Amino acid sequence: MDEKFPACITSLPEVDTTFAGVRGWVAQGATTQTVFFDIQPAGDVPPHSHGEQWGIVVDGELEFTIDGVTRVYRKGDSYHIPAGVVHSARIPTRCRVIDFFPDPDRHKIKA
């Protein structure tokens, strides 16, 4: 996978993330955020919870464990994580995903 998000996305503000190999660009709304993530094989994201999240895999694959159920998501697959549900992830390959959060403050913008 050599594709990247186009300039109309990578010119958006970048999110400030603590995970190595993860970049994201945010389309900010008054009450929502949509984040376009480009994720290198980053290993494991530990179990955590936050507000509601919906996403779709654009390229690559990732493995989510959502509320104790593990599933591999590939290009074209979508996922939904209800608010407060514990989830974790494993990223075995580079992937691009689009995540929607009905929370305008879910991700901070990189300074």
How much of the chain is helix, strand and coil, in % rounded to 5? 5, 50, 45
pLDDT, one tens digit per residue, over 8-54 is: 999 999 999 888 888 999 999 999 999 999 999 977 888 999 999 99
Which pLDDT score is estimated for 21?
86
pTM for this prediction: 0.93
For residue 32, give its domain range.
7-101
User: If 0-12 CB within 10 Å is exposed, 13-18 middle and 19+ buried, where does residue 19 land?
Assistant: middle
Pairing outcome for strands 22-28 and 87-91: unpaired
Provide, rounded to the nearest whole percent, the portion of the chain with pLDDT above 70: 98
For residue 1, pLDDT over 60 is answered with no
Within a domain: residue 108?
A: no
pLDDT, one tens digit per residue, over 44-96 is: 888 999 999 999 999 999 999 999 999 999 999 999 999 999 999 999 999 99
Supply the CATH number for residue 24's domain: 2.60.120.10
Count of helix runs (H) and strand runs (E) in the chain: 1, 9
Provide, rounded to the nearest whole percent, the portion of the chain with pLDDT above 90: 85
Within a domain: residue 111?
A: no
Domain count, the chain: 1
Which pLDDT score is estimated for 42?
72
